[in-house]
Every structure is written in structure tokens, then in C-alpha cells.
Amino acid sequence: MEKKEQLYEGKAKKVFRTENPEELIVSYKDDATAFNGLKKGTIVGKGVINNKMSNLLMQKLEKAGIPTHFVKELSDRETVVKRVSIVPLEVIVRNIAAGSFSKRYGVEEGVVFASPTIEFSYKNDDLGDPLINDYHAIALKLATEEEIETIKKYSFAVNEQLKAFWKECGVTLVDFKLEFGRLSDGTIVLADEISPDTCRFWDAKTGEKLDKDRFRRDLGGVEEAYDEIMKRLSEHI
Ligand code: UDP
């Protein structure tokens, strides 16, 4: 499988066309951004970790019956994925209060929910990815009611699978962001990535943060945290 012209360059990944119109190649970078691109930096080795972690977890989810865009890992940083049109919603599932949830609702980080929550943001950098509800998403024609139901069902299923897996690794899955896409026949599949950039991972014993919050909040030990979470995954997958 060969890369053809670059279709797109995002904050953390580049996307290339291939000879197959239904498949693309994603290439993961070490570039890191936060706060809608206001904070920029590099996390050395992040691209390799995010590529591998995302692929291992997506394969695990496929086995559990959740369809994903994953096709084949090509190299340390490159993966073949199915071409999708991305549903412009960031889907956030939470098990524990943190980040924007804690800020918005005035809840201390670490408060454990009785059951998981889900929320959507409208993927639109100019608007700063505003929080949006199902009715708004349907009114804006971002997705149909049926697609939203499918997305919710898959998102909670992803949470159950990942929560159980990370528990075995001694890691608490606090929250995470998913993106979904439509294949050419309209089928909804999990797309984008699942990585320390898009999940909050806390060490189950010490509460130490093993994710991008170390970069966002200038906590130091960013590369070490990415290495540690990847090590935990490699030992348990
Ligand atoms: N998240 C993400 N991309 C975003 C916003 C959030 O991947 O643009 C992830 C983030 O890593 C966390 C979860 O979604 O695991 C919930 O993030 P939150 O809404 O608390 O926002 P934040 O505090 O990161 O701004």
C-alpha cells in the first residue's frame, strides 16, 4: 500500500490518499496542541504511541462487535484506515468528573458518577467546538436521529470494553473523546484515534495522570507518562 497525495493535515495527523479509493493512510505526528490550538508543543514519540495504542484498542473493539475504520498497521506511525466522512461531532463519555465537566458544573475532579455520561460537541474550530445536544445536531443536519442512536450505543459499548481493559492494566479510564464516520454505504464506524491525547488515564493506585493533561497543565513528565501508559497496555493486551 503506497501513500499518494496528502489530503489533509490536522493538529496531530496527516492523511494521504492511496490507490484504493475506499482506503486512506493516516500518519501520526509528535505535534501536540491544546485549548483549540492556542498551546503548541512536541511530545517526542507520541505519534508512535498513539498509532499503536489506537490500533490495538480498535482491534479489541472490533472483536467486541464495534465496527471501526481500522484496516492495517503499516509502520510505527502509519496505518491504513477505511475512508469515511466524519460526523462533525466530538462524542465525550465520562466515568469521573474532570476537565471541562468539573469547570462547567463546579464539581471537584475525581467525583465518580453512578453511571457514565455522554455529551456532544459540534466539531467546528471557528466556534470553539461548542457543546450541543441531540436535537441541535439533528436540526443542524450533522447526523440523523438514527445515526445519533447508533453513535450513543457504540460509545457506551466502547466505554464498557475500555474501562474493563484499562482496569486490568491498573489504570482508571476517567473520560475520553470519540469520533465516528460514515462509510460510502452510510454505515457508522468508529474513526479517528483512541490515545492519551483523547482519553484521561489515571493510575488506579496513585491517581497519577498518564495522559495529555500533563502537557495541557504543564505538569512535566509528559513523554514518561505516554511511555508508561503504552507499557501498561503492551503488558496486558
Ligand atoms: N478531548 C479531546 N479533544 C478535545 C476535547 C476533549 O480528545 O478537543 C478529550 C480529553 O482528552 C478528555 C475528554 O475528551 O479525555 C473530555 O475532555 P473535556 O471536555 O474535559 O475537555 P478539556 O478539559 O480537555 O478541555
Residue 117 to residue 159: CA distance in whole angstroms: 10
For position 231, what pLDDT does the model report?
98
Which atom of ligand 1 sits closest to the CA of residue 211? 11
What proportion of the chain, given as a percentage, has pLDDT over 90?
98
Protein residue with least CA distance to atom 21, ligand 1: 100
Contacting residues for 87 by C-beta, under 8 A, at least 6 apart: 142, 143, 147, 151, 179, 180, 181, 182, 188
**Does the CB atom of residue 177 touch ligand 1 within 6 A?**
yes
In this structure, the number of other CB atoms found within 10 A of the CB of residue 5 comes to 6
Specify whether the CB–CB gap between 180 and 146 falls below 8 A: no
DSSP string over 6-32: EEEE-SSEEEEE-SSTTEEEEEE-SEE
Q: What is the mean pLDDT of residues 177-203?
A: 98
Residue 55 to residue 237: CA distance in whole angstroms: 12
Would you say how long the chain is, in residues? 237
Helices 145-168 and 46-63: angle between axes, nearest 10 degrees? 110
What confidence category does residue 2 fall into, taking pLDDT thresholds of 50, 70 and 90? confident
Mean pLDDT of the chain: 98
**Does the CB atom of residue 99 touch ligand 1 within 6 A?**
yes
What confidence category does residue 112 fall into, taking pLDDT thresholds of 50, 70 and 90? very high
Residue 174 to residue 188: CA distance in whole angstroms: 25
3-state SS class at 87: coil
Residue 224 is classified by DSSP as H
Residues 54-99: tens digit of each pLDDT:
999 999 999 999 999 999 999 999 999 999 999 999 999 999 999 9
Mutation test residue for ligand 1: of 198, 199, 209, 222, the one with most atoms within 8 Å of CB: 198
Contacting residues for 119 by C-beta, under 8 A, at least 6 apart: 91, 92, 94, 131
What confidence category does residue 125 fall into, taking pLDDT thresholds of 50, 70 and 90? very high
Residues 128-183: tens digit of each pLDDT:
999 999 999 999 999 999 999 999 999 999 999 999 999 999 999 999 999 999 99
Protein residue with least CA distance to atom 3, ligand 1: 198
Given a cut of 90, whether residue 1 has pLDDT beyond it is: no
For position 65, what pLDDT does the model report?
98
**Does the CB atom of residue 102 touch ligand 1 within 6 A?**
no
List the one residue out of 92, 96, 99, 93 whose CA is nearest residue 113.
96
Please give the single-letter amino acid code of residue 68. Answer: T
pTM, 2 dp: 0.97
**Does the CB atom of residue 92 touch ligand 1 within 6 A?**
yes
Strands 188-191 and 171-182 turn out to be: antiparallel
Specify whether the CB–CB gap between 85 and 182 falls below 8 A: yes
